[in-house]
Structure 1
Amino acid sequence: MQPNIAALILAAGASSRMGKPKQLLELDGKYMLERVIRLALSAEFTEVVAVVGCQSERIRQLIRIEDTRFRWEVNLDALMGQSTSLQAGFRALGEAVEGVMVLLGDQPFISEKTVRRVFEEGSSILNEVQGSFVIQPSFQGKIGHPVFFVRPPYADIFYLQGDQGAKGILEKLNGRILVPVADEGIVIDLDTPQDVKQYSFKSEK
């Protein structure tokens, strides 16, 4: 029986440093968030949830996804920090999921190969270990996203506040595996117009 593994995409930010909604930034004919959603859908997740907040109505109007595994979740508290989006996403998925891969909506250059590799590693670990565990890819010694939670520590996740991300949780977990990948995209996020200019060549790949 295939384990219940979901993907959670965090994309509720206000894009203050970009100066416009970066979720709708066009890269090689596709909106940035759409690229990340389709990246997640390339793997065998049982469901994919994208958490949006700022500009949520416009984003949902412009990005159309037909895959029945996909759904939106609106975080009305997005301006209170990233922790609220993480919590909204995990709340939407529910505690029945055995594994959750967290992706960021401003990291459009991660390869499908990387997502599949982390997914497969997580699926394997689910059958081998008990308790909470985390898997992350690394590129030339730098740890990046996506982050795969095996049996997510819900109590710790819902204890987060403000702009606290999952970093503190990752440091507390006893079990952690780093998966080396030849994919710089795991450490590239687009926060500013300068970032877009610097990495625009990657959108053509």
Structure 2
Amino acid sequence: MYSRINNDESSVGGLILAAGLSTRMGQSKPLTKFLDKKLIDQTIKTMQEAGIDNIQIVTGFEHERVEAYLQDNYSSDHIHTIWNPNYGNGSILTSIKTGLAELTDYELVFIQLVDLPCIMSETYQKLLEAMLVNGKKAVLPTVNGRRGHPALIRMDLLADILAYEESAGGGGLRGFWKQLGDAMMELPVDDRGCIMDTDTKEQLQEAENYMRY
């Protein structure tokens, strides 16, 4: 478990993106039932098991309900929320910019989507170790060559992320990663959860079965 590394010279924060419109699911994705709780609970649980104690959650669609649920179930000392008023444009970059601006006290931040509940906490540790060894500005997991989540970034990228415009770089978040060049690395991991989206009820059921067995 870790929350501070390098004898407190570096710190690690967590960012969960939970602002999407949930159009394919047909209901608020963070509050969608998963196993015996909600999707947002599972994502928070994994981050906390990895040792990340301070988590910023970006809300959007049905943010009042999501924020009320979090306030009722979590301590505000460790779980914080911020609303992204631009959530409707469909780009997660607006949520990343909104959330990272609240995490300036941290040197490293994990960025995670709320709808990938099957990631193993060990994967977070592997990404952190890879970054510390290689000195990259961003590390992304890959599963059989396919990029997944979470992403780990150094917060000295914040100014570049805030200034990045999709139209200039192209390809949204992928365009930003491409812009980093050799400063970004891909880390192969044996964690299918990194690429298991739950955009539909069928995918949600598949994810629940995966976690049970």
TM-score between both structures, scaled by the size of structure 1: 0.86
Show the counterpart of 1:33: 40
- Cα offsets for 1:73-103 (capped at 9, x unmatched): 1112211332211110011112x42111110
Paired-residue identity, %: 26
- Cα offsets for 1:16-69 (capped at 9, x unmatched): 111111111111111001110121122233621111111111112223223733
2:165 pairs with 1:160: yes
Change in CA separation of 1:99 and 1:59 when aligned onto 2, cut-off 3 Å: same
Contact 2:108 2:153 in 1 (8 A): yes
Show the counterpart of 2:94: 84
Contact 1:100 1:148 in 2 (8 A): yes
Larger mean Cα displacement after TM superposition, 176-185 or 65-74: 65-74
TM-score between both structures, scaled by the size of structure 2: 0.83
Change in CA separation of 1:83 and 1:184 when aligned onto 2, cut-off 3 Å: same
Show the counterpart of 1:177: 185
- Cα offsets for 1:161-203 (capped at 9, x unmatched): 5996421111111222322221100011111122223333024
Other structure's SS at 1:97 match: coil
Larger mean Cα displacement after TM superposition, 23-32 or 43-52: 43-52
Contact 2:166 2:175 in 1 (8 A): no
Q: Tell me the CA shift for residue 144 of structure 1.
A: 0.9
Other structure's SS at 2:204 match: helix
Q: Flag structure 2 segments of 5+ consecutive residues without an equivalent.
A: 1-6
Q: Flag structure 1 segments of 5+ consecutive residues without an equivalent.
A: none
- Residue type matched to 2:204 in 1? V
Q: Distance in 2 between matches of 1:164 and 1:83?
A: 11
- The structure 1 residue matched to 2:124, chosen from 115, 124, 141, is 115
Q: Distance in 2 between matches of 1:73 and 1:85?
A: 9
Show the counterpart of 2:84: 75
The number of aligned residues is 199
More helix by share: 2
Show the counterpart of 2:4: none
Contact 1:102 1:148 in 2 (8 A): yes
Larger mean Cα displacement after TM superposition, 161-170 or 190-199: 161-170
Larger mean Cα displacement after TM superposition, 143-152 or 50-59: 143-152
Show the counterpart of 1:194: 202
- The structure 2 residue matched to 1:97, chosen from 106, 110, 113, is 106
2:147 pairs with 1:137: no
Contact 1:83 1:164 in 2 (8 A): no
Other structure's SS at 1:10 match: strand
Q: Distance in 2 between matches of 1:133 and 1:13?
A: 26
RMSD: 2.3
